[in-house]
């Protein structure tokens, strides 16, 4: 296992878009992914992990999934994977979440992400079929704090 590191995390700025595209292989070939990242930067929902002031990973977190916090993208540059950066971003997302539950999803084929989520205390929470052909989207959630409940009558 590679040496674990702690990145500095900050909100992405418009001038960061080019750096994000450079390390995200999907964004390099997908206009829709680039537009999604650009929109997330404008909405201040995109967060960067930096090593020596160089972006190496990003997290996009919003609160539009049934009014719950949702990580819609967590991407670590391939050469920086398995060094604790994804874990650091998940922990950061938990700190900045405005809701008591945090949701995310990943493809059934993405075993490394599933393993990371389970290691970080996320629980399976459902499946969405037909987003990517023959590769269902697995939903995960984590309770961050006790929710207020009304007394039972």
Q: What average pLDDT does the chain have?
A: 91
Reported confidence tier of residue 14, pLDDT bands at 50, 70, 90: very high
Q: Residue 6 has what pLDDT?
A: 87
Q: Tell me the pTM.
A: 0.88
**Helix (DSSP H) and strand (DSSP E) numbers for the chain:** 4, 7
Q: Residue 142 has what pLDDT?
A: 97
pLDDT (tens digit per residue) in 88-110? 999 999 999 999 999 999 999 99
Find residue 47's DSSP bridge partners.
11, 59
What average pLDDT does this structure show over 50-64?
94
Beta strand 46-51 with 137-143: parallel, antiparallel or unpaired?
Answer: unpaired
Q: What is the C-alpha separation between 41 and 11, in angstroms, rounded?
A: 8
Q: Does domain 8-143 have CATH number 3.40.630.30?
A: yes
Q: Residue 146 has what pLDDT?
A: 64
Distances in Å between the alpha carbon of 15 and those of 18, 21, 25, 66, 143? 7, 11, 19, 31, 34
């Amino acid at each position: 296992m590679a040496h674990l590191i702690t990145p500095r995390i900050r909100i992405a700025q418009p001038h960061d878009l080019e750096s994000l595209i450079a390390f995200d292989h999907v964004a390099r070939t997908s206009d829709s992914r680039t537009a999604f990242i650009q929109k997330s930067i404008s909405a201040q929902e995109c967060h960067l992990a930096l090593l020596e002031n160089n972006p190496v990973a990003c997290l996009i977190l919003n609160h539009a999934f049934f009014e719950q916090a949702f990580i819609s993208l967590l991407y670590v540059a391939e050469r920086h994977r398995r060094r604790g950066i994804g874990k650091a971003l998940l922990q950061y997302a938990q700190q900045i979440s405005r809701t008591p539950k945090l949701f995310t999803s990943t493809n059934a084929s993405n075993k490394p992400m599933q393993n990371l989520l389970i290691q970080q205390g996320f629980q399976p929470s459902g499946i969405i079929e037909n987003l990517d052909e023959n590769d269902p989207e697995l939903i995960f959630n984590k309770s961050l704090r006790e929710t207020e409940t009304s007394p039972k009558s």
